[in-house]
Amino acid sequence: APAPVAAPAPAAAPAPAPAAAPVAAPANAHAGYVTPIVRKLANDKGIDLASVTGTGVGGRIRKQDVLAAGAPAVSTAAPATKAAPALEVSPLRGTTVPMSRLRKVVAERAVLSMTTLAQLTTVVEVDVTKVANYRDEVKAAFQAKTGQKLSFLPFFVLAAAEALKAFPIINATVDGESIVYPDHENVSIAVDTERGLLTPVVRNASDLNIAQLAAEIADKADRTRNNKLTPDELSGGTFTVTNTGSRGALFDTPIVFLPQSAILGTGIVVKKPVVVSDEGLDAIAIRSTVYLALSYDHRIVDGADAARFLGAVKARLESGDFASVLGI
């Protein structure tokens, strides 16, 4: 019998390929997924997400990362500050000087008034928008014809002088146990000078128009500051007006000086939002307003008297009807 054929040897199994080395996950492996909220935030702020380093799990970009990328760099330098206006140092600083004779007189009169009179102050707020508008309309022509700048003070003095005629108790004086009602309104005007406060008198102020009052006030103030007043021009006042607003104050509580019984302080005129009513409807409007403060001797002037006087002054000013008494 023929010999059996030998079976072929099995082929050698191929050698297994070497295992590939594991690839390390990139730091931004999870950064590819960005929540819609974070993506919209980056888009709104114009930030390229590719430039943002995520601080979330696996480097995921979070909302805080986008906000931090869009935040301006913080400078360690001190911020620039606006320099405050330099104030001139007074040569009186650190010195001792004797009181002037005028200062002594004013001090004595102030103390006497405060210890003799029962002083009280009432304040009202006045809408002077119509006066302000009228003043703006005529001030150029007024200065051209009179040579005087038209301020608010003549309007205040005229309104007060007219009200004194209707409420003479504000213009009265005490004489022992009697009350004296003058038949004239001599208004003292407080003037700030280097020597101290002086009060020249504008006589018969209620008979003068705006132009005459402006001229009188300017002339008396100028001559007061230049020490050219006569003693008679500083006496005989029955009522005083002090323009507190000339130095920016809203109002003060001025002192009444004997023998007068009242003094009116006029504050600065300012523009501010005010509630106005028109046919039952309220609205906010920009108005020019001023505070008027009346100090008075409560021995003869009651609060109701002061309120009535201030109400009359307020009504006169808020009417704005001064064309007939402008005087040019």
Catalytic residues, by residue number, are 298, 302
Q: Cβ(200)–Cβ(226) under 8 Å?
A: no
- Quickly list H helices, 147-286: 153-166, 210-225
Tokens, residue 256? 């009444």
204: left (phi over 0), alpha (psi -120 to 50) or beta: left
d(CA 159, CA 206): 9
DSSP state of 173: E
Closest CA to 174 of 91, 118, 111: 118
d(CA 182, CA 173): 8
DSSP state of 152: S
DSSP percent split of the chain into helix, strand, coil, nearest 5: 40, 20, 45
Task: Quote the radius of gyration of the chain (alpha carbons, Å).
Answer: 42
Closest CA to 205 of 225, 185, 235, 220: 185
Residue that is written with structure tokens 């200062």 in the block: 103
Distance, C-alpha 244 to centroid of its chain: 14
Which helix (H) or strand (E) segment holds residue 283: the answer is strand 281-297
